Chain A
Amino acid sequence: MSAHDDHTPAVIEEPIANPGLPEHLPRPTDVDEAAAKRAERQVATLFGLSSVFAVLFCVAYFTLNIGDDPTVFLGLGASTVGLGACLGAALMCIGIGAIQWSRKLMSDHEIVEYRHPAASSEEDRAEAVASLMTGIEDSGIGRRPLVRNSLLGAMGFLGLPAIVALRDLGPLPGDKLAHTVWKKGMQVVQDVDGARIKPSDMEVGQLVNAEPAVFFPEGDQEAEYEGTALLQAKAKAAVILVRMNPDDLRNKRSANWGVEGILCFSKICTHVGCPISLWEQQTHHLLCPCHQSTFDLADAGKVVFGPAGRHLPQLPLAVDEEGYLIATSDFHEPVGPSYWERG
C-alpha cells in the first residue's frame, strides 16, 4: 500500500459535501440465528434437488426409447425433453443455490478501493528515457551506419519467405471455374435416380431438376466421379429443365437452344451461387430464395429483379438417336457467381 500512497489523487473541494459511505445495514441472517439456519437449509435443499435431477437424467437416459419406436411426450421426443429438462434443472438448482448462498450467508462487508492514476511518476519516466539513451549510445548504432543499414536490409529480406510461403495458398484456379462436366452428347437425366428423359415425357409447365448422366453410372460401369470430386462436379453441373409453350419464348436464340420448348438452364444463381429451382410455371420466372434474384426463363434467363449481375447460363439441348435429351456442348460461359479472373 505504501508505494501507491504518493499517487492518490488530490482531494478537490466539492460543492456538495461528500456524504461518505451509506450506513451498514445488517441482513436478517446476520442478526437472527434462526434466519441464518433457514437460509442454510434452503441452499442445501437446492443443492440436494440438483443431485436428484442429475440422477433423473440418468434414469431418463436409460428408460426413454429413441430410434424406431420412440417414447412420445406431448408430440415431442420424450428422451430429448427428459434429458434436457433434467440437466437444465440440475444446473439451475446449483445456480439458484449459489446466488442464495452468496446473498444471504456469505460475509457482507463494504470494501473500498481507490483508483490510482495510470501514468508512472516523473522520476520513473526520466530514468527510463535515460537508460534507453545509454543503450543507444553503447550500441554505437549512430556511429556505425554499415551495421545499421545491413540490419535494416536483413529485416526487409525476412519478408521474402513469408511471401513465398503464401504461394502455397494456390495454385490459381486457372480455367477450372469456366468449365463443367457437360460435353457434347451427354444425356440430361433426372437428379436422384438418373432417369433419362425424352421430350415426350415432359408436359408444358414441367420442371425437372437434372444432372449430367456421367454421375449415374449404369450397371457395373465404374463411377467416374466419387466423394468430394463428385460433389464439386455436381454442384457446378446442376441444371433445371423446363418446358414452356414455344409461343411464349421471347428470345429466338434461346428457343433454338431448346427442343420443342424444353430449355435447360444452370441451377446455380449467378449472384452468390445458391441452387435455384423455385420456378413459377405461369410467369416463367425463376426466383432465388437467398436474395430474391429473379430470372425470366422465357427470355433467355434474363435478370428481371434482384442483385444478380448476369443472366442465367443456358445449356444447348438436342435429342440423341434413342430419343433422349442430350447436351450439344458445355455451357458457353462460366456458371455461378462472378470471380476475380472473370472481371
Chain B
Amino acid sequence: MRLLTRKISARLSARRRSRFAAPAVLIVGLLASGGLYAALAPANADNSTDDAATIAKGRALFAVSCSSCHGLNAEGILTEKGGNYGPSLIGVGAAAVDFQVGTGRMPMAQPGSQAARKRPVFNDDEVAALAAYVASLGPGPAIPTKAETDTSDLSNEEMVQGGEFFRTNCTACHNFAGKGGALPKGKQAPPLTGVSAKHLIEAMLTGPQQMPVFSDGVLSMKDKREIVAYLKKNEDSPDYGGFSLGGIGPVSEGMFAWLVGIGGLVGAGIWITSQTARIKKKGNAA
C-alpha cells in the first residue's frame, strides 16, 4: 500500500511542471469543495434561492410581470389618495411570493377587492426565482421545507389538537368544514380543500390579503403542521353523514329538506290522489 502511494506521488511530482498541472489541480480542488459542500450543507439550504443567477432571473421576471403595480424595486406604488396600488414587497419573504404566485393569485388579472386563486402563470422554476429575488430584498418568512410540510409523522392526538387550533383560529372565516366563506365588500375567505400543505402553511405565516398573520412565535410550526394534518385528514375522510351539500351548514341542508324532501312528499301525495282506481266509463264495467 505504502509502495503504491509512493509510486503515485513520485509520478505526480514528476509531472508537476506540466502545463496541464495548474488547471488540473484547480479542477480537483473545485470539485472537492463543491462536492463536500453539496454533501455537508444543511438540507434546507435551497441552493437555487441563494444563487445570484436565480436572483437575477427573478429580478428580470419581476420587472416584466410585477413592477407595474409593485414598483421597479418592489418598493410599492401609492394611489393618489395615499392608498396602496401595489404594496411594498420588501421584507414579505419568499413564503409570501411562493404562496401568491404559486397559487396563481399574483399576477392579478385586474385590480379588485381580492386576488382570486387561478391557474399559476409561472412555472415552479420561475416562482422560485421570483421568491429568491423578493427574499433578497429583506428578511421575511422562508418557504417551508419538505420536512415541515410532511405531516405523516403526526399522531392522532396531535391531529385532534390541530382540530382544536383550527376551530379556534380558522373557522370564523373559513367555515367549520374549511369550505370558505364570505367577507364584507365582495371579499371572501377561500376554501381550504385542495390546497397543498406548503401553501396552507405559507398563508398562515404571511397573512395574505385580509387574512391575519399567525407567526411561528405564537402558533408554532408544530401547531401549524397539526392544523394541516387535521385538514388533510378531514379532506380524505368519507362523508359519514351522506352528501355534504357544499358543507355550508343549515342553508343548503334546510333548502334540500324543504324543496326536495317536503316538496317530494307533497308531489307524491298529489300524484296518488289524482290517480283514480275506478273504471271511468260506465260502459266498461261488467
Chain A residues engaging chain B, CB cutoff 8 angstroms: 23, 25-29, 31, 70, 72, 75-77, 80-81, 84, 99, 103-104, 190-193, 195, 197-198, 200-209, 242, 275-283, 285, 287, 289, 292, 294, 305
CA distance A99 to B212 in the complex (A): 60
Q: A103-B277, A192-B165 are in contact. Are A25 and B214 (CB under 8 A)?
A: no
Instruction: List chain B residues, Cβ under 8 A from A104.
Output: 277
A77 with B238: CB separation less than 8 A? yes
- Asked if residues B278 and A99 are in contact (CB atoms below 8 Å), the reply is no
Pairwise interchain contact A285-B239, C-beta atoms closer than 8 A: no
**A-B residue pairs in contact (CB < 8 Å), sample of 15:** A27-B277, A31-B285, A77-B239, A191-B168, A200-B217, A206-B214, A206-B218, A207-B169, A207-B212, A280-B184, A280-B187, A281-B211, A281-B213, A287-B184, A292-B184
Q: By the criterion CB–CB under 8 Å, are A70 and B214 in contact?
A: no
Take A27-B278, A206-B218 as given contacts and tell me if A277 and B169 are in contact as well, using a CB distance cutoff of 8 Å: yes
Interface residues of B in 160-204 (CB under 8 A from A): 161, 164-165, 168-169, 172-173, 181, 183-184, 187
Contact (Cβ within 8 A) B218 A202:
yes
Partner of B210 from A197, A198, A204, A280 at Cβ < 8 Å: A280
For the complex, give the distance between the alpha carbons of A190 and B210 in Å. 21
| Interface contact A206-B285, CB-CB below 8 Å | no
Given A25-B279, A190-B219, A202-B215, verify A209-B238 contact (CB < 8 Å): no
Q: CB distance B215 to A276 under 8 Å?
A: no
Q: How far is the CA of A233 from the CA of B215 in the complex (A)?
A: 28
What is the size, in residues, of chain B's interface with A at 8 Å between Cβ atoms?
38
Indicate if the CB atoms of B240 and A70 lie closer than 8 Å: yes
Closest to A196 in B: B218
Are A208 and B282 in contact (CB-based, < 8 A)? Answer: no
Tell me if B9 counts as interface (CB < 8 A to partner A).
Answer: no
Which of A23, A76, A193, A204 is in CB contact (< 8 Å) with B239? A76
Could you tell me which B residues sit within 8 Å of A by CB distance? 161, 164-165, 168-169, 172-173, 181, 183-184, 187, 207, 209-215, 217-220, 223, 238-243, 272, 277-280, 282, 285-286
CB distance from B105 to the nearest CB of A (A): 15
Contact of B207 among A80, A191, A205 (CB under 8 A): A205
Contact A282 B218 (CB under 8 A): no
Contact assessment for B282 and A205 in the assembled complex, using a CB-CB cutoff below 8 Å: no
Which residue of B172, B207, B212, B277 is within 8 Å of A276 (Cβ)?
Answer: B172
Closest A-B pairs by Cβ, 5 of them? A201-B217, A207-B212, A77-B240, A280-B210, A206-B213
Tell me whether B210 and A283 are in contact (CB under 8 A): yes
Q: A77-B238, A281-B212, A283-B210 are in contact. List 5 more A-B contacts (CB 8 A).
A: A31-B279, A190-B219, A206-B212, A277-B172, A281-B207
Q: Are B277 and A26 in contact (CB under 8 A)?
A: no
- Collect the chain A residues with CB atoms within 8 Å of residue B219's CB: 190, 208
